Amino acid sequence: MSSDDAWSTPSNEALLLSLVAPTATGSKTVSHSFHPKFTYPIFGDSEEIFGYKDLEINLRYNASDMRPNLSVSYSKKFPAVGETEATDITGILRDFLPEVAFQKKSEFETAIKNLRADWTPPGELDTTFTSHGNTFEVWKGNLADAAVKQLVTRLQILVPLFIEGGSAIDVEDPDADRWTIFFLYQKKAAAGDANSNPYVFAGYSTVYRFFHFRPPTPPLSPSSEADLEKATLAQDFDLSQLPCRTRISQFMIIQPFQGKGLGPRLYNHIFQTYIDHPQTVEITVEDPNEAFDDLRDIADLQYLRQLPEFRALRINTAVTIPKTGPAPNNIVDKAACDAVRAKAKIAPRQFARVLEMHLMSQLP
């Protein structure tokens, strides 16, 4: 072991996240604590932090409003020698956490104790369901709402920590109203304690709408989509009425709530929301990872199999399929496929994938 190793700590182990709730004397963890999956976007490719012994980085979140609080402790710090000095942990984390995370622990404890017991998540209650005997609520809001923006800002560090290659959204987006946020909360039974809030944060998803801009009348010969957008906006359109593509941007169930089928429940709710949204012509997903692809494939297949016109799609056995090269595009009735796809608002590649799964499962 080199002397550097003796002062190095794997950052995935050093960082511990927890959800806490206020008590009369301080706070207590409400669900088990958990480590991040990735820390390289924050602490560098080696995922090592230099310069400390017995290093612990605690990122505690108030379970309801997700107010974060950072605390860093260690038994020894490497004395600065020339250019070699201990990693500036707090300095690095300032780029990923809002200012409120750096308050003193006592200020955090006071703030969470003073949060009203009747606090509810931001936005509006969108749906309620039960899972394994627990009650969950989905709250839906817009990034233009200050309370929604505050919560989304507090959550953004979870993206590099849990989604490989995931990126934070720009909470200062001037088009904030194009962002819809779905928050998933467990709602516990009232504990009978005046200070205790029943909400425990479980996950969230950010959804962005891209508008399909139509050339204005008379046409202004716009040279680019941006010009077209400007010209359209200049016409004072009601944006909420324009046809749009709706893209799921970030989707996360936090670790203590994973593996309980909550991801599929939240996805199905979001999907149904935009099936019912007349302006949405297509529902897409930004850079899904493998775990999300699996969830989405099963959910989309379940949805499509409820549609009689999807169930009616059959392989055209009269078509000869070559042994090599691409399959001919008339294996399945193209017009019928396009009609189901448009109705289900599923993007072409995802539809083709799910259709293939369906047809393969039908083969004798």
Which residues bind to ligand ACO, rule: CB under 6 A?
162-163, 248, 250-253, 258-264, 268, 285-286, 288-289, 291-292, 295, 298-299, 302
- In the complex with ligand ACO, which residue's Cβ is closer, 47 or 109? 47
The three-state secondary structure class of 341 is: helix
Q: Shortest Cβ distance from residue 295 to ligand ACO (Å)?
A: 5
Residue 156 to residue 211: CA distance in whole angstroms: 25
Which of 299, 62, 71 has the alpha carbon at shortest distance from 199? 62
- In whole angstroms, give the CA distance from residue 240 to residue 200: 32
> Between residues 181 and 295, which has the closer beta carbon with respect to ligand ACO?
295
Q: Which is nearer to ligand ACO, 66 or 112 (CB)?
A: 66
Q: Residue 113 corresponds to which tokens in the numbers above?
A: 């104790």
> Three-state SS for 202?
strand
Report which residue's Cβ sits closest to ligand ACO.
263
Least Å from the CB of residue 316 to ligand ACO: 29
Q: Which of 172, 176, 202 is nearest to 187 (CA)?
A: 202
Cα first-last separation, the chain: 60
**Cα-based distances in Å from 335 to 153, 260, 332, 342:** 44, 38, 9, 11
Select 74 or 257, whichever has its Cβ closest to ligand ACO: 257
> 238-273: buried (b, 16+ CB within 10 Å) or exposed (e) per residue?
eeeeeebbbbbbbbbbbbbbbeeebbbbbbbbbbeb
Least distance CB 267 / ligand ACO (angstroms): 7
Rounded Cα distance between 283 and 247, Å, is 6
Catalytic residues: 286
CB 184 within 8 A of CB 266: yes
CA 138 to CA 184: how far, in whole Å? 5
Could you write out the DSSP letters of every residue in 244-306? EEEEEEEEEE-GGGTTSSHHHHHHHHHHHHHHS-TTEEEEEESS--HHHHHHHHHHHHHHHTT
Rounded to whole angstroms, the Cα distance separating 328 from 193 reads 66
Q: How far apart are CA 323 and CA 168, in angstroms?
A: 45
Please state whether beta strands 199-211 and 179-187 pair in parallel, antiparallel, or not at all (unpaired): antiparallel
Q: How far is the CB of 305 from ligand ACO (least distance, A)?
A: 11
Is the Cβ of residue 103 or residue 289 nearer to ligand ACO in the bound state? 289
* Residue 189 near residue 153 (C-beta atoms within 8 A): no
In the complex, the smallest distance separating the C-beta of residue 138 from ligand ACO, rounded to whole angstroms, is 13
Minimum Å distance from CB 56 to ligand ACO? 23
CB of 204 to ligand ACO, least distance (A): 10
